[in-house]
Amino acid sequence: MRFLQGRQAKRLATDKMNKSRYDAIIIGAGHNGLTAACFMAKAGLKVLVLEKNDYLGGAAVSLELHPGWTYSNCSYVCSLLRPEIVRDLNLPKYGLQVIPYSGGGVFMQNGDHLCNYNDHDAHRLELARHSKKDSEAYDRYSTDLMRQCRFIKPLLMRMAPDPTSFKPRDLGELAYLGKRFLDFSEAQMAETLRFWTMSVAEFLDEYFESDVIKAYYAGSGIIGTALGPMSPGTAYVLLHHYMGEVDGNIGAWGFARGGMGSISKAMAACFEDHGGEIRSGCGVDKVLVKNGRTVGVVLKNGDDYYANTVISNADVKHTFLDIVERDDLPEDFVRQVERFKIRGSSGKLNIALDGMPEFPQVPKDSPIFNGDMHFTDSIERMERGYDDWKNGTWSKDPYLDMLLPTRIDPTMAPPGKHYMTVFVQYAPYHLANNESWDGANRDAFAQTVFNQISEYSPNFKDMILHYECRTPLDIEREAGITEGNIFQGELTFDQLLFNRPVPGYAQYRSPIKGLYMCGSSTHPGGGVMGAPGANAAREVLRDLGARQTVRGY
């Protein structure tokens, strides 16, 4: 009798394990995790996605935190999402619509403004109003930046080669990279090498003289980065933001209709349409490792799920310092992960407005309101804001990237009302004197932002119906990103290509057999791009010998 009971218990345990066994488990339903999941499900694998939050999307989410208003809580504009991924997953079929925007500009302290026009000739005329020399230099600037863009874009959907490897595939990729570089003239080669290591301030100084023009373009070089505009490496960050596209227009930006969560929602629908399974409210506590390879995961509630392939969409620090046992990893690998730079530098405000705020220094029909608006009219002001970050406090004169998505997408607020998104640079994760972000400091941070906007819009504060303020600590808590770093690691040259995240492990694999990475800590980096997820899926399918469904090589 006892023998039968033992056999029955063993059979029940085996049945339970089989029911919770998958070909692959993906940790995190951020957009890269969902991208990887879609391609793997399309290849016929039984895939499970586990998400700690009750909602999907990671940092690409849309939530109604005030009745009638939809907030893009973290990420807020779309451009970097690779068109190859959109086409291959047929995301428009699942409701994705990206609406391009144009306009934007800078409100200046002297009462003037700089407006960004979509029309090339109109934009040149606006630049000439501030500097005729800069107007003449604009085409040269655009051409040189596009040259760098054309060089790097084909690498986004390819695996970064290991320069120390003699494997045929790595040698082939190095040859591909070398051939592209040799297409440059000798002068262009030198400029490219300089560009990847120089500051955005130095780069812009080579083209423009007007403070406000340089400030407008420099903003893309500091967003989400714990560096100032005069710090080496920020010129590449500018390029990283420039190489996206909307409807084939390089460098264009747009709003995902219904908020950035529409991207994640479309991906989730595609994944489930191909037989995938998503479980929300399921935070992973530990990756199970046996004899040097992964065998599954344990959730925070104690449940087990089993797979010989686990892909982490979490950042490299959270993956290998929190949910993987240190004893399962080589010590030198752990040390390199600990040195990976992933510092919080920014915050976010989402604001429900009773109507359209007034900005008296700009005509009401100006296209400035239809794009990204800023109040920092010199690089020197940006650098002083970075000095505050270095001293452990938020910028007293912050760089704001402010947009009104409802000017383009009225579905995000009730009729006649508006939604405003404000990205704030700089805000440190660690405040001076070990002060807490919770409570008074979060409120003071928000008031700093409100005060700056109010200097240019006298009725702005009266229009506020509701707002939420997200510090780097809040972003870490909710999106699960270490220190709230929106790129899951800084985009400096020492952390790109075959160095991202760790030399020797830049090809989405880890020291543990069967454990992969697919988040923005991997090549080619951050932003709502999907490339890390697609690239990781390709490598997993290659290792499993599965039918390829991911574009690449």
What is the mean predicted confidence (pLDDT) over 303-316?
97
Task: Find residue 294's DSSP bridge partners.
Answer: 289
CB atoms within 10 A of CB 356: 18
Q: Which amino acid is at 101?
A: Y
d(CA 372, CA 204): 19
For residue 548, the model assigns a pLDDT of 54
d(CA 49, CA 192): 40
DSSP H helix total and E strand total for the chain: 18, 21
> Is the Cβ–Cβ distance between 57 and 73 less than 8 Å?
no
pLDDT tens by residue, 486-526: 999 999 889 999 999 999 999 999 999 999 999 999 999 99
For residue 553, the model assigns a pLDDT of 43
Pairing of strands 373-374, 253-256: unpaired
Pairing of strands 373-374, 105-107: parallel
- Residue written as token pair 């990475």: 517
Q: CA dist 88 to 24, 83, 245, 528, Å?
A: 21, 8, 16, 17
Neighbouring residues of 503: CB distance < 8 A, sequence distance ≥ 6: 164, 336
pLDDT tens by residue, 27-68: 999 999 999 999 999 999 999 999 999 999 999 999 999 999
Q: Is the pTM of this model over 0.85?
A: yes
d(CA 345, CA 484): 8
Lowest-pLDDT range of 50-64, 242-256, 393-407: 242-256
For residue 12, the model assigns a pLDDT of 45
pLDDT tens by residue, 352-387: 999 999 999 999 899 999 999 999 999 999 999 999
pLDDT band at 79 (very low <50, low <70, confident <90, very high): confident
Task: Find residue 63's DSSP bridge partners.
Answer: 71
Q: Which of 316, 278, 317, 324 is nearest to 298 (CA)?
A: 324
Buried b (16+ CB within 10 A) or exposed e, 114-147: bbbbbeeeebbebbeebbeebbebbeebbebbee
For residue 273, the model assigns a pLDDT of 97
